[in-house]
Copies of this chain bind each other. A is one copy, B any other.
Amino acid sequence: MTQQVVRSAAANGNGGRDVNGDLAQRYLSVRAVTESIAAVLSAEDQTVQSMPDVSPTKWHRAHTTWFFETFLLKPQRPSFREFHPRFGYLFNSYYEAIGERHPRAERGNLTRPGAAEVGGYRAFVDSAMVKLIHGTSPEQTALRQLVELGLQHEQQHQELLLMDIKHVFSRNPLAPAYNEKLPHHVASTPTPLRWTEVDGGLVEIGISATDAFAFDNEGPRHKVWLEPFRIADRLVTCGEWMDFIDDGGYRTPSLWLADGWSTVDREQWTAPLYWQRADEQWQLFTLGGLRSIDRAEPVVHVSYYEADAFARWAAARLPTEAEWERVAELHARPGAGNFLSSGRLHPASAARDSGIQQLYGDVWEWTTSAYHAYPGFTPSEGAVGEYNGKFMSGQMVLRGGCCVTPADHVRATYRNFFYPWQRWMFSGVRLAAQA
């Protein structure tokens, strides 16, 4: 987190507002969202790790708490006594500077602390955090920024928690629903795909130093040359994906990157994750359980390899992240879209409106851009410098947030990143093409 770009809404000019009160309020509100997501899950649900990429629910709840304990309470409060002497070892995710930690793939072996004890840990830290926040002086801007980083971090884990529990449930032959009362998906009529032309030229992307919060990897703002291009006005649909499958998409090596084809072969992929064939019909496993697929709804849970192959089959390509960000600046508004707060927990079909649809929310959109440092990037000093920079190798950028992202967590410059073979996140496809 470079100091130039990270700014919390709470950090600056207050004009008489109760800055600390606002921040404490926001702290409690974000923390409560996590607990409400977890509340419908049993103790057993919260314990399982169905693959090394997945973490147990109670681990997410404890790790986000550890973040505040480690980066705020311990450094700021000399008299602070940690909740448990070994929780630092158990709930450090990947911060080498903080010290040794429990191996990631072993998180599912921890039966203790139980879900209820984790609740106690959260309450303990929340109480201390609220005191800490109320005690900050006006000039402790950096400290308030760090609280905001912790909250943004917690929002990321709210999304991860839902991705992860979906994967856990998908491995159970009983196909349990996270929530059986999700709004029922209503099949709709597919809208035809239309292309929007975007001018090229020397543009700027990335975050500049402003008051608003951003992660260090979103900056510095810098110039990029763009050739003119076209962008699809909506996401690729399940119906289009069925056509790809029916046309032998998963059996035609010439459509695939070499690494993609070897993955298809090794993993025996024949469809997106969570698609199941039953009685010649495609079924979809969702957080609401198993149901049939609507041709009009966006495809989700596809890897970069699949997105890239689909685009080649469609005689198009994926956008670069600079192109995506340019479109976002010209055509969309961050807060609008199908986010966590809609309660759907699944992407929705495109509206029949004119203009670029679904850019924010619904699904993370794969770009062809490798996740690398922007020119002039330097990570923050200290342990939080490990937050983003050390992952800048081998992963691809995704943009726009998805249906399980908190609405106020995403913006035009936001860079998500995953390995090209991963697909348990809510990832989908928007096509681009040369102008």
Contacts and interface: CB of A to CB of B under 8 A. Distances in A.
Interface residues of A, number: 65
A391 to B, nearest CB: 5
A172 B109 contact: yes
Contacts of A390: 256-258, 261
Contact of A44 (B115, B222, B434): B115
B260 A168 contact: no
A111 B304 CA distance: 30
Interface stretch (A88-96, A241-249, A406-414): A88-96
Given A174-B86, A225-B225, A370-B370, A394 B259 contact: yes
What is the copy number of this chain in the assembly? Answer: 4
Interface stretch (A46-54, A281-289, A355-363): A46-54
Contact of A224 (B111, B171, B225, B391): B225
A114 interface: yes
A108 B108 contact: yes
A275 to B, nearest CB: 19
Interface string A372-398: 110110000000011000111110000
Given A44-B44, A89-B173, A115-B44, A50 B109 contact: yes
B112 A172 contact: yes
A227 interface: yes
A169 B112 CA distance: 9
A190 interface: no
A106 B47 CA distance: 14
A132 interface: no
A254 interface: yes
Given A48-B47, A227-B376, A393-B420, A97 B254 contact: yes
A394 B421 CA distance: 11
A110 B169 CA distance: 8
A259 B393 contact: yes
Interface string A412-435: 000000001000000000000010
Interface string A202-233: 10000000000000000000111101000000
A108 B44 contact: no
Nearest to A389: B257
A58 to B, nearest CB: 8
A334 interface: no
Interface centre among A86, A106, A223 (most CB of B within 10 A): A223
A339 to B, nearest CB: 26
A372 B386 CA distance: 26
Interface string A287-307: 000000000000000001100
A274 to B, nearest CB: 15
Interface in A247-275: 253-254, 256-261
Interface of A: 42-48, 50, 58, 86, 89-90, 94, 96-97, 102, 106, 108-115, 168-169, 171-174, 176, 202, 222-225, 227, 253-254, 256-261, 304-305, 308, 368-370, 372-373, 375-376, 385-386, 390-394, 420, 434
25 contacts: A43-B43, A44-B46, A44-B47, A44-B111, A45-B112, A47-B111, A48-B48, A50-B109, A86-B174, A90-B173, A90-B174, A94-B258, A96-B254, A202-B202, A222-B227, A223-B227, A257-B391, A257-B392, A257-B393, A258-B391, A258-B393, A259-B393, A368-B373, A369-B372, A376-B434
Given A109-B168, A254-B385, A370-B372, 6 more contacts: A42-B112, A43-B44, A44-B114, A48-B48, A48-B108, A89-B173
CB-CB nearest 9 A-B residue pairs: A370-B370, A96-B253, A43-B43, A44-B111, A45-B111, A109-B171, A223-B225, A258-B390, A257-B393
